[in-house]
Amino acid sequence: MPRKPPHPRAVLALLAALTSAVAIIALAPAVPSAASTRGGVNATGTPFRGTTADGQVRGYADLHSHLMSFEGFGGNVLCGKSFDPEGIDKALRDCPDHGPNGALAWFENFTSKGTLLGTHDTTGWPTFKDWPRHDSLTHQQAYYTWIERSWRAGQRILVNHLVSNRILCEIYPLKKYPCDEMESIRLQARRTYELQAYIDAQSGGPGKGWFRVVRSPAEARQVIEQGKLAVVLGVETSEPFGCRQIGGAPQCTKEQIDRGLDEMQSLGVSSMFLCHKFDNALCGVRFDSDAKGVILNLGNFLGSGRFWQADTCTTPEHDNTIAPSNDLTALLAGPLAHLRPLGVTLPVYPKAPHCNVNGLTELGEYAVRAMIERGMIVELDHMSVKAADRTLSILEEERYPGVVSGHGWSDAHFASRIYRLGGMIASYGSSADTFAAEWRRAKQARDPGRLFGYAYGLDANGVGALPGPRRGNESDPVRYPFASPIDPNVTLDRQRTGQRTWDVNTEGVANYGLVPDWIADMRTVAGEELIADMARGAEMYLRMWEAARS
């Protein structure tokens, strides 16, 4: 007879106890490097600048990554930094509570291996024996010289989402900062400007660096024409402006939403999610599945006093399937649904496909229209299909094109509506052949009257795996050195940092620096048509943003 899995609350209590124990153990620090260097970029040649013959910028775009999430969730969940003023040996260190051999790194083990048990080499710089790797989810994936390698190869837009989650912060006992999500967003914005200044200082002074935070499409176009990387600030958090709900009651007002959006714009934020992982006072969320979904459902209850609520969908669009869902739960789900008006919810669900019963709230509709008034980009991913459908209807009523599905987390049936508006879709980072298949499906839904470009949402440092190696690539691997598929003026060899050299054929995208190698692998499986669409990614994003601001 199979053993009954532990109750999620018991699992969380065990994890908290383990982490608290780690906090009082004296751990031997990692041996520091004798020298602090920038780390290898392994790219030669002068990056393209200006425009193509038809006046378009050229470059690929990442619509969803998290450069500063090491400061999110209380500041101790993710190990390593995207930069440190004292150098790479200070930036690329493992978390102290992972030492001495990773056996106590329960969150790393759980997210990467699905178990609390495991070990890894914790040295970090300069050996990097066990991390970064594509499926190590709590170690830094986007050190700034790795991003530089991608920029040199042709990347021209990076949407840096400032991210946090109050519940995860509160559950994880080790913290540097309070769990207020908006305070974390402010800190991460500040760190992004500090990185810009750090790169400027290495490049000859203010404004000279290749990493430029932009606040408008006009500024972004100018930066890209100069051959630099336009960094757009976004926000992906579960309780924006404090807009949580408790027992179904919103904990924010329209005035708070307006003040919050104004503050975000003053920080330079141009793109924003209204909900993420948990139902809040603005919208219901698109569920996570399997064991991760069970834990997040518990988080939804801890944050709001209610479990996710789902019915069997009656439309082609649907949210992800949540557990438990079987014949017995389907029998119980109908009668239990009558308890919802009383505020009583249980994690028992009908047969799939599942649709979150919660859509866009009155406050959520207000927030969408307030974003339209400010020319901000609406992030559709993570909204329940009910919320996303209503959001798209509002955008269609207003003929507003500023909408993206930035990392493949929206129902595919919405693609044609997004494209007709003038919005943009990007796929989540996956192996080259899987990504190519998603590109083909998206292209079938495009608006033939508009420019088509494609992008990815790598979700680097988002506690999600990066693209793994393509299976069966022995006969047609990426061969080093290679000319960048996007900018043939630039040649790339295997990426090396410290004593470690990576190869995309065997390790996938172990860190952000292997994005160009991944795109070269896409060319192997999908040809020049995909490369041409990726090279138009920056131009399409700018046209969408310009139309939203017009």
Above 80 in pLDDT, residue 80?
yes
Which H or E run contains 158? strand 155-164
CA–centroid distance for 313 within its chain: 27
Above 80 in pLDDT, residue 164?
yes
Q: Is 469 helix (H, G, I), strand (E, B) or coil?
A: coil
Query: Domain spans of the chain?
Result: 56-95+140-279+364-549, 290-356
Above 80 in pLDDT, residue 3?
no
Buried b (16+ CB within 10 A) or exposed e, 170-191: bbbbbeebebebbebbebbbeb
Above 50 in pLDDT, residue 9?
no
pLDDT tens digit sequence for 433-449: 999 999 999 999 999 99
Band of residue 326 on the pLDDT scale cut at 50, 70, 90:
confident
Above 70 in pLDDT, residue 2?
no
pLDDT at 12: 42
Q: Work out the mean pLDDT of the chain and round it to a whole number.
A: 92
pLDDT tens digit sequence for 271-314: 999 999 999 999 999 999 988 899 999 999 999 999 999 999 99
Q: Is 93 helix (H, G, I), strand (E, B) or coil?
A: coil
pLDDT tens digit sequence for 100-158: 999 999 889 888 888 889 999 999 999 999 999 999 999 999 999 999 999 999 999 99
Kindly report the number of other CB atoms within 10 A of residue 85's CB atom: 11
CA gap 521, 509 in Å, rounded? 11
pLDDT at 376: 98
Mean pLDDT of the region 380-406: 98
Tokens describing residue 184: 């974390």
Which range, of 173-182, 337-346, 374-383, 458-467, averages the lowest pLDDT?
337-346
Band of residue 40 on the pLDDT scale cut at 50, 70, 90:
confident
Nearest residue to 294 via CA among 69, 103, 114 = 114
Is the Cα dihedral 373, 374, 377, 379 positive or negative? negative
CA gap 492, 516 in Å, rounded? 8
Question: 56-95+140-279+364-549 maps to which CATH number?
Answer: 3.20.20.140
Above 50 in pLDDT, residue 28?
no
Mean pLDDT of the region 184-193: 98
pLDDT at 492: 97
pLDDT tens digit sequence for 231-272: 999 999 999 999 999 999 999 999 999 999 999 999 999 999
pLDDT at 338: 84
pLDDT at 342: 86
Kindly report the number of other CB atoms within 10 A of residue 21's CB atom: 12
Tokens describing residue 5: 């899995």
pLDDT at 232: 98
Which range, of 220-224, 325-329, 529-533, averages the lowest pLDDT?
325-329
Band of residue 39 on the pLDDT scale cut at 50, 70, 90:
low
Band of residue 330 on the pLDDT scale cut at 50, 70, 90:
confident
pLDDT above 90 as % of the chain: 85
The 8 Å CB, 24+ separation contacts for 421-424 are 421/392, 421/395, 421/396, 422/447, 422/450, 422/543, 422/544, 422/547, 423/380, 423/395, 423/544, 424/63, 424/453, 424/455, 424/540, 424/541, 424/544
Which range, of 97-111, 171-185, 229-243, 456-470, averages the lowest pLDDT?
97-111
pLDDT: is 57 or 22 the higher one? Answer: 57
pLDDT tens digit sequence for 530-549: 999 999 999 999 999 999 99
Query: Which residues partner with 325 through β-bridges?
Result: 349
pLDDT at 110: 86
CA–centroid distance for 302 within its chain: 23
Query: Which residues partner with 230 through β-bridges?
Result: 157, 212
401 class by beta-carbon count within 10 Å (0-12 exposed, 13-18 middle, 19+ buried): buried
DSSP states along 263-299: HHHHHTEEEE-S-BSB--SSB-BPPP-HHHHHHHHHH
Kindly provide the residue ranges of all beta strands, DSSP E only, lying in 434-511, ordered along the sequence.
Answer: 455-457, 482-483, 491-492, 496-497, 500-501
CA gap 85, 189 in Å, rounded? 17
Q: What are phi and psi of 388, to 5 degrees?
A: -65, -40
Band of residue 334 on the pLDDT scale cut at 50, 70, 90:
confident
